[in-house]
Structure 1
Amino acid sequence: MERHRLQGTPPGTRVCLLEDWCTPAEEEYLLGRVYRPSGTACDPWQRVSGRKVQVHGGEVHEKGMIPRQLPEWLGKMLKSVRETCGDDMFPINVQLNHALVNEYEVGGGIMPHQDGPLYFPAVAIVSLGATAVMRFTPHVSQDDVGAEESAETSSSMAPFGVWLPRRSLLFFDGAAYTHCLHGIDGVAEDVLDESVVNWRSAVDRCGDARKREGTRVSVTCRNVLKVRKLLMFK
């Protein structure tokens, strides 16, 4: 995955993008599993602002995640994502145990946010169905107040974007995780300007716009650091 590291991202961060992580046939299969989940009688989707979401692996709380068994197809997918990233991206003892499946209609997005300290500070995101640009914005959190080095890291970083083609795998860690908010604008087309570090992969001329061609499904793959053990009573 390291050889797919993007140039033009701020120091102290790794942002890697593997295009064509899966084949069109594999994409079709994964989308089929997303929309035809097995083993559940209830609707797995939750409606939130700008998108719909499925939560897999368990609900995450400060006291730890109470685990839920992953669907078989998703467990295999997380294993494949972990193998692609390798031990250089995720330490050998860190396995992916949680996933968010997000659906974005054309014009949908997600507000800039941080994933926070409940997760291992790295994330892998698979994009299916359509493209989008993810925007990273430097942010000084409350934890950084009084920490000059951390605050200086944030202030020295410039905002940047990454164009995410369908069937791609994005990985980021470092300052992109700890000192940036990341989000997707709620627009029908993305402007690929000089702030988008891989704009050349998307358009012929810097500053051109690219329409979102349909519904995008993303699978955000993470490791929850603290998992609670369930007590079994007989």
Structure 2
Amino acid sequence: MEEASLLLKDESFSMDKLEKFRIKGAFNTLYYVPDFINNREEEQLLRNIYSAPKPKWTQLNNRRLQNWGGYPTTKGMIEEPIPEWLKQVMKRIDDLNIFGGKQSNHVLVNEYLPGQGIMIRQETKMTRTKLASILLFPRSLLVVKDEFYQKYLHGIEEQKEDEVNPNLLNWDSLPEEIKSRTITRGTRVSVTIRHVPHTRRINISSLCRR
């Protein structure tokens, strides 16, 4: 699978245009686009997210999330309905051809309060080393593809502040006024759009026959 976070503000934006946002040295499969959507689009997206029915939220220890499109498992995913406001976002991502001609079919919406994140915990005796970090700004697009997505784990450190230093992969694209400073986190909402293979639909009416 590949994934993309957030949406496009320009429907003519293509994979060719995306090339100039490729992060060098990141296996050629990581792209970071700052200011990918504008303030109005961000407000509309957040309004739809927070207008979703309360049962749609799942509360975890370190964040809460919404799952749209179904629940992926090792055996595949049974498709579930996706609201129109998300389908519009998914179509604009599909227009980039990030998924190799396949259509996106799954969306995760994660909300992180300051100090929350996703820690990569040691589940085996294998030592896990942090290779690189990237600073994600509001309204930005992050595209993760191919080897970088398939072979490496990602996490979000559970802290309330971030140091902006030259070790960040996207250092060159960051605003000069924040470089070499410590910035305080606010609430973060991410929209992760993916293509999940091996999906199937269930005919509800057929399950109700006697």
Same-fold status (TM-score > 0.5):
yes
Paired residues, what number?
Answer: 186
The whole-number CA distance in structure 2 between the counterparts of 1:32 and 1:82 is: 23
Report the counterpart of residue 8 of structure 2 in structure 1: none
Deviation at 1:217, TM superposition (A): 0.4
Q: How does 1:50-199 map to 2 (within 5 A)?
A: 50-83=62-95, 86-87=96-97, 89-92=98-101, 94-112=102-120, 159-199=131-171
1:4 aligns with 2:4: no
2:32–2:170 contact (8 Å) kept in structure 1: no
Report the counterpart of residue 14 of structure 1 in structure 2: 29
TM-score of the pair, normalised by structure 2: 0.79
Deviation at 1:203, TM superposition (A): 5.3
Compute the RMSD of aligned alpha carbons: 2.6
1:31 aligns with 2:4: no
Deviation at 1:207, TM superposition (A): 4.4
Which structure carries more relative contact order (alpha carbon 8 Å, separation 6+)? Answer: 2
The whole-number CA distance in structure 1 between the counterparts of 2:118 and 2:45 is: 22
| Among 183, 204, 209, the residue aligned to 2:182 | 209
% identical aligned pairs: 34
TM-score of the pair, normalised by structure 1: 0.71
Runs of 4+ in 1 over 6 A off after TM superposition: none
Three-state SS of the structure 2 residue aligned to 1:183 is: coil
Amino acid at match of 1:208: R
| Larger fraction in strand | 1
Q: Deviations over 1:184-212 (max 9, x none)?
A: 11111111223211234055576432111
Distance 1:112 1:20, change over 3 A: same
Amino acid at match of 1:163: L
Gaps of 5+ in 1: 114-138, 146-154
Report the counterpart of residue 224 of structure 1 in structure 2: 196
Deviation at 1:225, TM superposition (A): 0.4
